[in-house]
């Protein structure tokens, strides 16, 4: 049995088809790799937000609401060691200090999320921790 003779044009066409197919396969694999990197980055950011930034933000918002609504305390009135003072002390012990301790725990546990070059955030975190 004799093999058919392949013409020069057919051979060039076959080589081009193989090269284009290899190029498309390379592009597809590169796209998949980029997609994996983007997916991993998105997952890291989601984890960073849920472990660190959102919990700290919500606790800071709670503290902010407390200080914003402090004018209610002034309406309690009274004299020395008044109801206002006792309420303030109890509120600080029951709400503010536990909230602060929870934030410090979150910060200590997830401090790796803070970029090394974000010196302003690092400074603010240290000031907050030293606050109480």
pLDDT digits (tens, 9 = 90+) for 55-74: 989 888 888 877 776 666 66
pTM of the model: 0.58
Predicted pLDDT of residue 74? 61
Number of Cβ within 10 Å of residue 103's Cβ equals 21
pLDDT digits (tens, 9 = 90+) for 95-113: 888 988 998 899 889 888 8
Per the structure block, which two tokens stand in for 67? 């200080």
CB contact at 8 A, 107 and 121 = no
Domain boundaries, the chain: 8-130
């Amino acid at each position: 049995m004799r093999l058919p003779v392949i013409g020069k044009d057919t051979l060039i066409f076959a080589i081009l088809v193989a090269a284009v197919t290899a190029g498309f396969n390379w592009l597809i694999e590169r796209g998949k790799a980029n997609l994996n990197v983007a997916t991993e980055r998105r997952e890291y950011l989601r984890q960073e937000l849920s472990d660190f930034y959102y919990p700290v933000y919500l606790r800071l918002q709670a503290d902010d609401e407390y200080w914003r609504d402090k004018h209610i305390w002034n309406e309690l009135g009274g004299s020395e060691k008044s109801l206002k003072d006792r309420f303030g002390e109890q509120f600080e012990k029951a709400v503010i200090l536990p909230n602060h301790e929870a934030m410090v725990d979150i910060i200590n546990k997830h401090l790796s999320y803070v970029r090394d070059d974000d010196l302003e955030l690092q400074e603010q975190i240290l000031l907050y921790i030293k606050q109480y």
